[in-house]
Structure 1
Amino acid sequence: MEPEIFVELVKSMKGKLTITALCQLFDVSRATYYRWTHRKDLGKLTALEEAVRRLCFLHKFRYGYRKIAALINQEYKVNKNTIQKIMQKYHWNCRVKIKKRTKVGQPYKIVENKLNRQFASEEPLKKLVTDITYLPFGQKQLYLSSVMDLYNSEIIAYTIGDKQDTAFVIDTLDQLPKTTDCLLHSDQGSVYTSFDYQNQIKSKGITMSMSRKGTPSDNTCIESFHASLKSETFYLDKLTNEPTSIVIETVKEYITYYNEVRVQQKLGYQSPIEYRKSEA
């Protein structure tokens, strides 16, 4: 709970709920509340501080001070250390803690690693990576299959389902636009090495590449995306037992946010779609 928000909430609820009731409801001690009311900085933000506050709240505290500084510098000229001090002063620091994922599937066939950790791509739809991740946040187990274009880290195809079978990943594959001379990299999961999947790969003229056994860093880009998705939604908002529809909607909304809004340092602090359009 942000101090200024809680203090304003208590004021607005005067005569409706007691301070004690509100403190219990939001798990804030009365001592903390009274300490906040005596803070001289509450309600007296500078224009720069207000700009930092707006961005931190807008992105739900998913950004660290470097990204916030990059966005602020589109309007102000300010050192990133100044932004860091402001965020520390008001406790607006990034609240995302990356969670490790559990590896999905068991390999039974070795395919050459043609990507070989060459994650940079100078053209769209030339180097793609794919993976499956668990979504254990609802009332039943769900899975996400996604494909990322390494040109701009855009998620260009994804499927959410309750079975991680071959049909599940083929559905994602079928969403890809027609392309030539394309490399698709995955792990050695059985769904990717299956006859049906490999047959689909061949029919689309795609070249397959696979990570070495027990080496998730060979597919680190898509692994990182899945970790960010979970950390910046379910873990951040403490969503643990949601209806299936909420889990699905949360994932869809995040992918839209990731593609269209969420800036990346390697893209010059642009979102994937902004970068693609600017380079077209």
Structure 2
Amino acid sequence: MGHRITSVLSALNIARSTYYQWKNWQPSQRETRRNALKTAIKAVYNTNRGIYGYRRIAAFLRFILKTDVGDRLVWELMNELNLKSRMVKKSYKKPTTTTDTPQKPNLMKKLDDLSGVLATDITYIQLMNREWVYLATDITYIQLMNREWVYLATVYDPEKRRVVSYELSPEMTKEFATSVVVKALRANGKPKMIHSDMGSQYTSSLFEGTLQNSGINHSYSRKGHPYDNARIESFHSLIKREMIYHEEYRTIDDVRVSVEWYVNWYNNSRINSRTDWLQAA
């Protein structure tokens, strides 16, 4: 049996004016816009697996979705939605490695001296009427739940900030280090130079011979100077902070799924600080 609304309101001690104001309520233009922005923010956040913070999401909204919005408003709305970038600064206590190999030539340092600019910021250098092109390679560590290690070897284009090739292995061997370079050469042609650290995998006869047979110069970071290979070091740091440290891996295949997704996203979608429209944000 129905009840007269006036009786119900009286029983609940609610004024009739309050009830009708609620019944006829329409969201303001400002509130409608904020709700629409929240929907868009959640979509961008989830699509990028929670990696983006408010600045990158704001830039994405402005320059991809053509939405007029400021960083501050996106920050406020993300706080209301309880959304935060998941990037962390976790690190492993990885095994230490040493090398007794005497220092080999740092061609990047020579290019730095001759060009008057930072070698870590160079890929294409006009030097003595020749165009020099280099790629960087390095190996980083990923720990499984059982405390065993998986190794990620990468070949990286520092100028384009793009992963050229990568491989995963349960062992850090000279064959492993060489295979990822061979894969890069098959897919992308031959650079003038490849830069690496002085690890035993990179000073091995197999690795050196592979580059020599391909007519590629080998440049080496100075011992104790990891920033000579700063761009690829930065990539390995990013993949760990934005992806690896948030996952728990039981097997190397679990790692492979994450790395495959991240590399594809990094190469094709990720907003980086050099993107023109992000700098203009």
TM tier relative to shorter chain: 0.7 to 0.9
Q: TM-score, normalised by structure 1?
A: 0.72
Distance 1:120 1:78, change over 3 A: farther
SS at match of 1:155: strand
How many Å separate the matches in 1 of 2:215 and 2:84? 46
Q: What TM-score do you get using the length of structure 2 for normalisation?
A: 0.72
Give runs of aligned pairs for residues 137-216 of structure 1, distance below 5 A.
137-139=144-146, 140-177=148-185, 179-180=189-190, 182-216=192-226
2:27 corresponds to which residue? none
Q: Following TM superposition, by how much is the alpha carbon of 1:243 offset from its aligned partner in structure 2, in angstroms? A: 2.7
Larger radius of gyration: 2
The residue number in structure 1 matching 2:72 is 81
Which of 87, 90, 113 is the equivalent residue of 1:96? 87
Per-residue CA deviation, residues 129-176 of structure 1 (Å, 9 max, x unaligned), is 111011112544211110101121111111111111110111011112
The corresponding residue for 1:36 is none
State the partner residue of 1:34: none
**1:199 alignment partner, SS class:** helix
Task: Answer whether contact 2:134 2:191 (CA < 8 A) is retained.
Answer: no
Picking from 127, 137, 141, the partner of 1:134 is 141
| Cα distance in 1 for residues equivalent to 2:173 and 2:145 | 20
2:59 aligns to what? Answer: 70
In the alignment, the residues of structure 1 paired with residue 52 and residue 132 of structure 2 have an alpha-carbon distance, to the nearest angstrom, of 28
How much is the aligned-residue C-alpha RMSD, in angstroms?
2.6
Contact 2:138 2:155 in 1 (8 A): yes
Task: Tell me which residue corresponds to 1:224.
Answer: 234
Residue 261 of structure 2 aligns with an amino acid whose one-letter code is: E
User: How big is each residue's C-alpha offset from its partner over 1:41-90, in whole Å with a ceiling of 9 and x where there is no partner?
Assistant: xx995212221121112112211222111111022122222222222332
SS of equivalent residue, structure 1 residue 72: helix
Alignment gaps of 5+ in structure 1: 1-42, 271-280
Offset, 1:213? 1.1
User: Aligned partners of 2:149 and 2:182: how far apart in 1?
Assistant: 23
Which is worse superposed, 170-179 or 195-204?
A: 170-179
Return the alpha-carbon distance in structure 2 between the equivalents of residues 152 and 170 of structure 1.
Answer: 22
Q: Any idea what the Cα deviations from partners look like across 1:79-136, whole Å, max 9, x if unmatched? A: 2222222223322121211334647642323122222333233499922111101111
Uncovered stretches (5+) of structure 2, i.e. residues with no partner: 1-31, 110-118, 126-130
Structure 2: which amino acid aligns with 1:149?
A: D
1:38 is matched with which residue?
Answer: none
Q: Partner of 1:265: helix, strand, or coil?
A: coil
Tell me if the contact between 1:137 and 1:234 (Cα under 8 Å) persists in the aligned partners. no
